[in-house]
Amino acid sequence: MANVMAICGSLRKGSLNRMLMNASIAAAPAGMTIKEGPSYADFPIYNFDIQNSSGFPAQVDAYADAVRKADGLLIVSPEYNWTIPAGLKNMIDWLSRYKEVPFKDKPVAIQSVAGGLLGGSRMQYHLRMVLQSVDCQLFGKPEVIVNMAASKFADGALKDQGAIDLIKQQLAAFGKFIDRVKA
C-alpha cells in the first residue's frame, strides 16, 4: 500500500488547487491512499541565522518527519508570477537544509490549476528543477495541467470529466512509478 502525502501550494481557503487535490484524494487508485500533509503556512522565511541559533523550528521538524514517512508526494500548486509560490518554495528550502534531506529518492507527482491557458505549466517546470536539486524521483507523464479553470469547478469541487479522468490515469501510473522506485 503506497501512502502518498499531498501538498497544496495555495494557502487560501477557496483554493482551486486544493479542490484539485481533494479530487485526487478521492480518486486514489486501489493500493494507494492520499492524505494531506501538515501545514507549512507558518514556517518562518528561511534564514540560516534561525537554524544556526535555535535549530530547526519544531513545525519544520514535524513536516520533515511526515515527508520521510510518505512513500510519495503529490504536489498540487498554482503558479505565481510564472513560478513556484513563495510559501511552497520556502518549505522546500527549509527541508533541504537537513543533513539527511527528507526529499532524497522520494517519488513526486505534480498537478496544477490556473485560470489561464497555460494552467500553471511554468510553475511545474520550475518545480521539477528545484525538486531535482533535492534528489527527488520525479514522475513524468501524464502531466495534470488544469487550465481555463473558471469553467471546470463548481460548488467547491472539480467537475470537469476530462480532468478527473486524467487525474486517475496519472495516479495509476504514479502508483507503478512508486513501486519501481522502491524496488
Q: Which run of H or E residues covers position 76?
A: strand 72-76
Q: Are 49 and 85 in contact (CB under 8 A)?
A: no
Q: Is residue 87 a contact point for ligand FNR (CB under 6 A)?
A: no
> Rounded to the nearest whole angstrom, what is the least distance from the CB of residue 88 to ligand FNR in the complex?
11
- For ligand FNR, which residue of 80, 128, 134, 142 counts as binding (CB under 6 A)? 80
- Cell numbers that stand for 112 in this block: 496544477
Q: How far apart are CA 88 and CA 77, in angstroms?
A: 8
> Rounded to the nearest whole angstrom, what is the least distance from the CB of residue 153 to ligand FNR in the complex?
9
Q: Is residue 82 a contact point for ligand FNR (CB under 6 A)?
A: yes
SS3 state of residue 1: coil
By rule CB under 6 A, what count of residues binds ligand FNR? 15
Measured CA to CA in angstroms, residue 30 lies from 65, 82, 116 at distances of: 25, 35, 33
Q: What is the DSSP letter of 100?
A: S
**In the range 103-142, which residues lie near ligand FNR by CB under 6 A?**
114-116, 118, 120
When the beta carbons of 17 and 170 are compared against ligand FNR, the nearer one is 17
Q: Which run of H or E residues covers position 181?
A: helix 161-182
Q: Is residue 175 a contact point for ligand FNR (CB under 6 A)?
A: no
- For ligand FNR, which residue of 16, 60, 73, 144 counts as binding (CB under 6 A)? 16
When the beta carbons of 146 and 178 are compared against ligand FNR, the nearer one is 146
Q: Is residue 178 a contact point for ligand FNR (CB under 6 A)?
A: no
Q: Among 2, 15, 14, 17, which Cα is nearest to 144's?
A: 17
Footprint of ligand FNR on this chain (CB under 6 A)? 10, 12, 15-17, 78-82, 114-116, 118, 120
